[in-house]
Amino acid sequence: MQANFGSLQWWLSMLVAMVLLAGCGGGGGGGGTTTAISGTAATGAALAGTVDLIDANGVARSASISANGAFSLDTTGLSAPIVLRVTSSGGGILYSWADAVTGVFNITPLTTLALELMRANLPGGPADLAALFADWTSVAGPTQLSSLQAALLEAQAIINANLSSQLQAMGLTATTYDFLRTAFTPNGSGIDGVLDLIHLSFGNGSFSLTDAGGTPLTFDITIDISGYNIGGGGGGGGGTLTCDTSLFQANSVHQATAQELASFAGNYTGEIYSPDNTGNYVASNGTASFSSAGVLTLNGQAKTATSICVDNAAGPYGVVLYVHFADGHVDLFGNQTFSGAIDTPSGGGTGSLTLTVTISGVAAANVNIDGVTKPASQADFCADMTSDSTTSLNHALGAVGTFTIDSCTFDGSVGNVSATLAVTSPVSMNVPYTVVYTYN
């Protein structure tokens, strides 16, 4: 199967990454991963009280606010979008939201205002924020995540544009500052200083804004937000950076926050697997760059991301950022290396192939490859795998170990391969897995 073994070789490289991450508590493994969101609840002064959440499926949880307004909520098994409510010990109520199950999501008068602006634009939506919280699942199911992200990023841009002078006075850049996702301490500086300069009150589906002395401030909801790019999207037309969770196992990835995008900004070196004219996937050295706005450049060519996801747990090289685009994907690692694949062949393929991989009994998301020639026989399908059944894995994420093909069959349309992956470094494990090839 000369035209097809390269496909397996490419997939095994990807498989090693999945197994190593799973072995260190990360990636794609799903079941045992614990997730949480955290943030600060403050009005300028830190709040004390309780934080409640409701996820996209109506699951409710709560936690107490700790010292200095800090809070943390367990989100294991939950789905975004998530609405947040803080009830302070003094009786005040503020709201916020989370578009992922991990990350920083603050609760302040500004996040409350952002949610209010979004609520006001919902056709036939809840009458006020209390009703929005109570009826969250009626307007915020998992399929509404992208549209809500866009609406709330636009609301943040409107708020920043109206408060640009206050933000500038505290040393913050109004066109990019993300008051929802940027961690802060209630110490009178930065965004906490901005909260000290203003007063927001809410009620009956409306709000009012004054300065600290009670003088009304103008708030223009139609203000020009050209050039505003909060969190890499929204206001300035940068687009919404979404995570297509259907590409992964449940609860294994989350939507990237602005801070996570910024942490992956930089230049990378690595390997790109692409098909030659026979449908055989071949590795070549490549370069990639990634910006905090979510822009990927691969070998000098800009790629429009269709999905950007962050692994819910770290592996041997830190957390992984998964970037999918129309003709392939790239995995960015914390050691400034990457591994990727271009799925569209340059020519010569005659069909498509679906790879179904099961690792230690857990099925991974299918991989579809176009332009692959179907092997003529079982001998053709299995030839290369059985001729060199023990192969070094040093090229994959720096792993040391072997994989051994235990069995190989092909019925003319479907091939089945059973194998054992034995890794000795950076972790030690023996992992059984199967790969099913379905030729279309």
Burial of 246 (0-12, 13-18, 19+ CB in 10 A): exposed
Considering only CA atoms, which of 316, 341, 281, 334 is closest in space to residue 398? Answer: 316
Q: Identify the three-state secondary structure at position 190.
A: helix
How many angstroms separate the CA atoms of 300 and 287, rounded? 8
Q: Identify the H or E element spanning 95.
A: strand 93-98
Distance set, CA 392 to CA 9, 395, 403, 423 (Å): 11, 8, 8, 10
Mean pLDDT for the stretch of residues 148-157: 88
Check: CB of residue 209 under 8 Å from CB of residue 217. Answer: yes
- Give the per-residue pLDDT at 343: 67
Which two tokens mark 268?
A: 């990378």
126 preceded by cis ω (within 30°)?
Answer: no
Q: Between β-strands 266-275 and 296-298, what pairing exists: parallel, antiparallel or unpaired? A: unpaired
Residues near 222 by beta carbon (within 8 Å), at least 6 away in sequence: none
Most confident residue range from 114-128, 183-197, 414-428 = 183-197
**12-25 pLDDT, tens per residue?**
544 544 444 443 33
With cut-offs at 50, 70 and 90, classify the pLDDT of residue 48: very high
Runs of H (alpha helix) within 135-181 = 136-139, 145-162, 164-169
How many angstroms separate the CA atoms of 230 and 216, rounded? 26
Beta strands in 181-320 (DSSP E): 198-203, 206-211, 253-255, 266-275, 281-290, 296-298, 301-303, 305-311
Mean pLDDT for the stretch of residues 338-344: 78
Check: CB of residue 330 under 8 Å from CB of residue 351. Answer: no
What size, in residues, is the chain?
440
How many angstroms separate the CA atoms of 265 and 270, rounded? 16
- Give the per-residue pLDDT at 8: 45
- Give the per-residue pLDDT at 193: 96
Q: Say which amino acid occupies 257.
A: T
With cut-offs at 50, 70 and 90, classify the pLDDT of residue 369: low
With cut-offs at 50, 70 and 90, classify the pLDDT of residue 424: low
Q: Within its chain, how far is the Cα of 395 from the centroid?
A: 26
**76-115 pLDDT, tens per residue?**
888 889 999 999 998 899 999 998 888 889 999 999 999 9
Give all strands of the β-sheet with 253-255 in edge-to-edge order. Answer: 253-255, 305-311, 321-325, 328-332, 337-342, 266-275, 281-290, 296-298, 301-303
How many angstroms separate the CA atoms of 179 and 354, rounded? 43
Q: CA 336, 337, 343, 344: dihedral to nearest 10 degrees? A: 70
Mean pLDDT for the stretch of residues 358-379: 69
Give the angle subtended at the CA of 341 by the CAs of 17 and 244, to the nearest 5°. Answer: 75
Considering only CA atoms, which of 378, 422, 415 is closest in space to residue 400? Answer: 422
Mean pLDDT for the chain overall: 78
Q: Within its chain, how far is the Cα of 29 from the centroid?
A: 15
Residue with more model confidence, 338 or 397: 338
Q: Between β-strands 362-363 and 390-392, what pairing exists: parallel, antiparallel or unpaired? A: unpaired
Lowest mean pLDDT among 24-33, 205-214, 284-293: 24-33
Lowest mean pLDDT among 177-191, 333-347, 394-408: 394-408
How many angstroms separate the CA atoms of 96 and 40, rounded? 11
Share of the chain above pLDDT 90, in %: 34
Residue 5 has pLDDT above 60, yes or no: no
Mean pLDDT for the stretch of residues 245-259: 78
Residue with more model confidence, 202 or 314: 202
**281-332 pLDDT, tens per residue?**
677 888 888 876 677 778 777 677 788 888 887 777 778 899 988 778 899 9
Residue 339 has pLDDT above 80, yes or no: yes
Lowest mean pLDDT among 24-33, 44-53, 288-297, 342-351: 24-33
- Give the per-residue pLDDT at 278: 59
With cut-offs at 50, 70 and 90, classify the pLDDT of residue 416: confident
Share of the chain above pLDDT 70, in %: 75
Residue with more model confidence, 400 or 329: 329
Distance set, CA 1 to CA 34, 90, 226, 387 (Å): 42, 71, 55, 11
Check: CB of residue 117 under 8 Å from CB of residue 150. Answer: no
Residue with more model confidence, 10 or 363: 363
b/e per residue, 416-438, with b = 16+ CB within 10 A? Answer: ebebebbbeeebeeebebbbebe
Most confident residue range from 84-88, 270-274, 412-416 = 84-88
- Give the per-residue pLDDT at 383: 64
Give Rg (Cα) of the chain: 25
b/e per residue, 128-166, with b = 16+ CB within 10 A? Answer: bbeebbeebbebbeeeebbebbbbbbbbbbbbbbbbbeb
- Give the per-residue pLDDT at 280: 64
Mean pLDDT for the stretch of residues 330-335: 88
